[in-house]
Amino acid sequence: MTISHQHQFIFIHVHRTGGSNLRSMLKTALGSDLQTDVPHGNANTREAMQLSKYPDYFVFGFVRNPWERMLSWYRLIHKWSPGSVEHDRMQFQQFLESDGAAAPSDTYFHYNQLDYFPEGYRDLGKVQIFRYEDYNNEVNRLIRQLGLPPMEITRHNGTRSVDHHHYYTEESVRWVRQHCARDISHFNYTFQ
């Protein structure tokens, strides 16, 4: 989680949703006011106490189409060993089926992005959730909402953009549909 006491906000950084970019931009704008203990701290980590400690702070985060997000996670982990699309498609399917995406890191990667956001501390309806699919416009809207001056949108920790449809088999499409069902239902995401 990233917190600004001066601007009274808490940013929940969901893995693979442009959070490193946003945190970098906010750090440039706010300097030492911005505090990050664990970058991906969320409602299910020890940093969750910040949510109850500052109940009036504006809480926000970004979400992404689960099929794109799962492929982005895989590609981040394997970015130094790209192969052919056919090879990567099968490797990706094996990665999903082996539950490789769920391997613990500094904080746990949750299949459903809703798991990052607070339900036990406050009503989910009070958390502003932005969409990665319209990242530039959403970031600009957030910056205005925070009362910050316009800033250049940067890119960090990204993977080369690809058409995610090429990397999915019928089985891996079903796998994401099953494991990310809450997000798909809540945010009305589709594979298309």
pLDDT tens, the chain, 192 aa long: 899 999 999 999 999 999 999 999 999 999 888 988 766 767 666 777 777 888 889 999 999 999 999 998 888 887 656 678 888 889 899 989 887 666 554 457 888 998 888 764 445 567 899 999 999 999 999 999 999 999 888 776 666 677 788 889 999 999 999 999 999 999 999 997
Cross-strand partners of 158? none
Neighbouring residues of 82: CB distance < 8 A, sequence distance ≥ 6: 88
Checking 148-156 for CB contacts under 8 A at 24+ apart, the result is 148/7, 148/26, 148/29, 148/30, 149/29, 151/25, 151/28, 151/29, 152/25, 153/21, 153/25, 154/21, 154/24, 154/25, 155/21, 156/20, 156/21, 156/24
